Amino acid sequence: MARRRQKKKASIEKSLLEQESGTWLKKWKGRLPVALIYPNNYSIGVSSLGFQLVYSLLNSIDGVVCERFFLPESGDSLRSFESQRPLNDFPLLFYSISFEHDYLNLARLLLAADIPLFASERPGELISADNPLVIGGGVATFMNPEPLAPFTDLFLLGEAEGMLPALFTVFDDLLGEKHRADLLLHIQKTVGGAYVPGLYEPVYDKTSDRQSGVQRIAPSIPNRIAKVIVSETEKAAHSQLLSPKAEFANLFVTELGRGCSRGCRFCAAGFIYRPPRLWDADAVIKGLEERGESVKRIGLLGMEMADEEELDSLSSYLLDSGCSLSFSSLRADRISGSLLDLLSNSNLKSVAIAPDGASEKLRRIINKNLTEEDILLAAERLVAAGLYKLKLYLMIGLPGETYDDLQEMVDLIKKVKARMFPVGRERGRLCEITLSVNSFAPKPWTPFQFHPFGGLEQENGEVGSAKLAIASLKEKISFLKKGLRKEANVRMNHDKPENVLFQAVLSRGDRRLAAVLATMAKQQIPWKQAMRKHDLTPEQYALVQHGAEEYFPWNIVDHKIEQKYLWQEYQKSFLAKTTVACDTAVCKRCGVCGD
């Protein structure tokens, strides 16, 4: 039975390989095998632009053969996607992780391959397939690497293009020469963005039981790890792989830039990717020109930060090329001109806008800077362009949120209906509105990193109750449901606050959570039960009201952002004061661009 299942799985994966374009199939002889792990299923992993980029960069090294691993289905064995080899055939295991909910999957994958889960349990010998090096990367790791630090020999903190060449120069020279500890120490000292967690020991305050610092256990290594970024490019990063089974099937994605200048106070991308970099139109078009003649579905990443002139230029290019546009969401105050023409010609039926805050006051608190009229005008223009299904993203549990704010969102939905539906009827379309409600989780490196989950404010240093926070969020969900219950063609979906609580725990967590993840993976028990086994609580991570000078586990990463700036932005939020968008030519506020 197991053999038949494995043959069926191999047949399915062979079919997927045949349907992919951009796959690397390299011979192994004389090459260094590298496993590239995405700890989720194939459709999600193959859609990740960062994962694709690392796959291409590694395989572009002549002396390397890189094959991918995804989370296997229940009962299937863990095998590489390209040649069906086991993970134990690879001496270098790179993992790319973007979301906290995949941390547990990573632990499961390592256990499934019989690889010692904790780095401290791996032999100190030469690196080999029997004694692999586990290397972590991806956006989640340079937000806060600490919950995964005990599993990981080496983190690469930052953007892969700036780190992989230097790392593989070291591997070419020393991989077969130096034992694990000596090799890792050399990498820590010589490769920018390298973070070897085994060379750093967290220090905990005996009174609060929170991390209060870190101690280096080797000489001549940095106090903090400066992330590596790519400041400019001649050609924008774009899709390297296309697959009909990707989350967005056969969609060619191109970056408009990296980061975001707007500085929404809840959004990590607007801070950890500083300074924001907007590629010029020529670099973006060079990326688009590599898509192939038959590829017509285009996705643009970074539309939130592009100015109207840039969007008009790219929209005109795509229209002239006969391409259609796809995207996750649009900025409501950037919908005009050629972009509307492109949307009209893309045969899209639905579009998403992210007000995020329920009221204009909340949108000032989070620095979103969208007015009610921006949203109403965008809805009217979009339905006139033929997009008659509108999704609005909303967060609940934000700082300063009240039921008056939530009522304003209910009223806004009714006003959107009043703008959209008559235009839709004139065009013979029945319009639909979906409100997607998500609980806010505080993220590292944002002004809201100081704020407790659930929005229940505490005194400085105080810890709230997870039970009360969950109850508050559920009550707010019920309030919104009741307010929209009688509105025809309006739907509402929402997350489960309990799941977001665990995300918040991992987001603000320290190394002690690795033991929790290990217990969950080994014993297959829920996260709260696993935390109790290790005398930990969700409150001590997610429900703490942090102070201005608090030490955070993620302070080991140096994003150049001054903590006092983040605190100032946090304080401004309570006054509903906004901050202008980041202008790297003149702005020196946060510390990233220096004096």
Q: Are 56 and 68 in contact (CB under 8 A)?
A: no
d(CA 383, CA 244): 29
Asked if CATH classification 3.40.50.300 holds for the domain at 349-558, the reply, yes or no, is no
The burial class, CB within 10 Å (0-12 / 13-18 / 19+), for 284 is: buried
d(CA 96, CA 295): 27
Residue for token pair 């992993």? 45
Residues in the chain, pLDDT under 70: 1-14, 328, 595
Q: Are 32 and 64 in contact (CB under 8 A)?
A: yes
- pLDDT of res. 249: 85
- pLDDT of res. 14: 65
d(CA 558, CA 165): 21
d(CA 225, CA 294): 44
- pLDDT of res. 74: 76
**What's the half-sphere exposure (Cβ side, CA atoms, 13 Å) at 181?**
9
Q: Give the strands of the sheet with 350-356, arranged side by side.
A: 350-356, 389-396, 432-439, 490-494
What topology does CATH give the domain 231-348?
Transcription Regulator spoIIAA (3.30.750)
- The full set of domain ranges for the chain reads 2-226, 231-348, 349-558
In this chain, the answer to whether the domains covering 2-226 and 349-558 adopt an identical fold is: no
Quick count: other Cβ atoms within 10 Å of Cβ 246?
21
Tokens of 491: 């739907």
- In SS3 terms, 81-121 reads as CCCCCEHHHCCEEEEECCCHHHHHHHHHHHHHCCCCCCHHH
pTM of full prediction above 0.85: yes
136 phi/psi in degrees, rounded to 5? -110, 145
- pLDDT of res. 427: 86
- pLDDT of res. 164: 97
Residue for token pair 């859609």? 47
Element at 67 (helix H, strand E): strand 64-70
- pLDDT of res. 4: 59
DSSP string, 126-193: --BTTBPEEEEESHHHHH--GGGGGG-SEEE-B-GGGTHHHHHHHHHHHTTTS-HHHHHHHHHHHSTT
Element at 439 (helix H, strand E): strand 432-439
CATH number of 2-226: 3.40.50.280
